[in-house]
Every structure is written in C-alpha cells, then in structure tokens.
Structure 1
Amino acid sequence: MKIKATMVAALLLLAPALHAFTLDFASSVGATLPSDLVINVPGYGDVSFSANYASSLEVGTDFYGGATLQFDNNEVVLVTFLGGVPTDVDFSTVAVSAISGEQFVVIPISSSQYAVALQGSTDGAGIGAVTFNAAAVPEPSSAVLGLLGAAGLFVRRRR
C-alpha cells in the first residue's frame, strides 16, 4: 500500500502545470493587419485572427495610448487557437463605453474557436489582450516508463 501511494504521489508531481499566455497587439497605430493574422505563442503554438466578410484587422489605441485590435460597429473577427485546446479564454477589451451603448460579444463556436464582435458606435474600442491557459500533453520519458515497469515487477515479486 505504501508503494502504491508513493507511485501515485510521484505521478502527480510529474503532471504538467497549466501555463497562461497573453497576446498583446503592439503593432503601429493606424496600421491594417493581414486579414488572416497568425501569431506564434512560444510554448503553445499558433493563434489565428481572421477578419470576417466586410471586416478588417486595424490597430487602434486605448485611452492611455496602448495598442489595441480596433473594431468598427458590427465587425466580426474569428479567433482560432491552433495549438492545444485552451481553457479560461478571456478577451481584455479596452475603450468600451456602456454610456454610448457599446458591447463586445464573444461567441464560442467550438472549444478552440471564438467569434468576437462589437455592437455599438466606433471610437477605438477593441481587444487589448487575449489571455488563456493551455495544458501541455504529458509525454513520459523512456526513463520514467522504465522506472514504472521496474516498480511493477518489484511489487509483483514481493507478493
């Protein structure tokens, strides 16, 4: 029983932790980005931003001069996570005014694709950052598998 508890504890310690990544749009203000913008996130993979029909990817500014992915009224951008399945996806919006009736709408299409739209007037409101967690797929090394096999033989031999 003690060996089983030790093996379970060892496997739990070897399990990978979740990692959080944040994408910041730091391009030059006023620039129009390619319609299918793909950003590589080190340690995760690619994230794609695709402008829907009659939409464009423009870089604007927030109240403090920081770069944002600016939206016009009723523009839709598809955000697709091309790496592992993300969890806790959060779109940090900036310059959205409830007084003027602006509202960001995020619609999950699948576990790795989201449609993001702005409803209301256009005054530079946009996405400042995208934050998400991604769990790495555990890939045990051959040494760990060898140790588990040896432990199994040891436990069997003791009985």
Structure 2
Amino acid sequence: MNIKTKKVALLLSALLATTSWSALAADKTLYRAYKHGNHFYTTNVTDMLNATHSGGFTYEGIAVILVSYDDNDADKAFYRMHNPTAGPGGNHFYTSDLNEALNIKSLGYEYESTEGYTTRSQAKTIYRGYHSELINHFYTTSVTEMLNATHSGGYTYQKEEGYGK
C-alpha cells in the first residue's frame, strides 16, 4: 500500500469513526479542510476524501453537526455555493440565508448543495468570518477560534449562521 493510499484510508477511518450508525439518518457531520487561504466544508465524506486526496486540502476535523430536513430540530438549510474564479483557487461560500444565497449568485457563485440544516436548539452557534484579501469565509463554533481569526488572522467577523450540535 503506497503512502497516498494509506493517508486516504486513515482519513476515511477517522471520518467514519466520528459518526455513529444510529445517528446517520438525522445527523450530518460538517467536515472542515484547508488549503492556501481557502476553507472547504462538506457533510459528504466522498467530497472530503476527494478534496484531501487529489484537491490538496488538509483535513482539519469536524466544524459542527447539522441535521437532516426531516429532523424535528431542523431549522434553516445550510447552502454551499462555489465561485471557481474567486480567491486563490476558487472559493466556497456557505449560508443559512436563502436571500443571501440568491444574491451572491450575482458575484459568480453557483449553488452546489444543501449541506444539511441548522438546528432550532441553540447548542452550538456557527460563527462566520471573512478575509477580504483571500476572498475566504471561515466558519467555526469556537468563540476562541473566531477571536484568533479576527485578531491575528486577517478575518472580519460577519454574523451568526445559526446553530448546530
């Protein structure tokens, strides 16, 4: 087994180990990866494996747990948009605001998927920051991580996107 295959196998094991089989129907783990000033988030394990295996992204862990549409706690859809010409190597943008998702299309973004749904219960707040030089949005549930990003990482705090588990 070559080194690249071992890395993919280890990543797949880590991704699957963080998901309980009983929660698969309702919970949607939002994974986070990073590459050259660009964050990528997805609930799709295959998308994350492709991003880390051949896309040059480094897996950073779980950003938050979203839920599926049919979950009793489901609130707003969490949309994933993409602009291949924004920033170094393109940019993904995520929002729980349908009007914002529709309006950003005027900047060259196209809808890619609905990653899951935010929750009505307010267990973990999803914070969004923006880096204007990198044309990159950053999402985290950690107040400390967002404060570090805004104080020394060049990000400006934008808003709360909703809540997750």
Question: Normalising to structure 2: TM-score of the pair?
Answer: 0.25
Q: TM-score, normalised by structure 1?
A: 0.26
Q: Which has the higher contact order (CA 8 A, sep 6+)?
A: 1
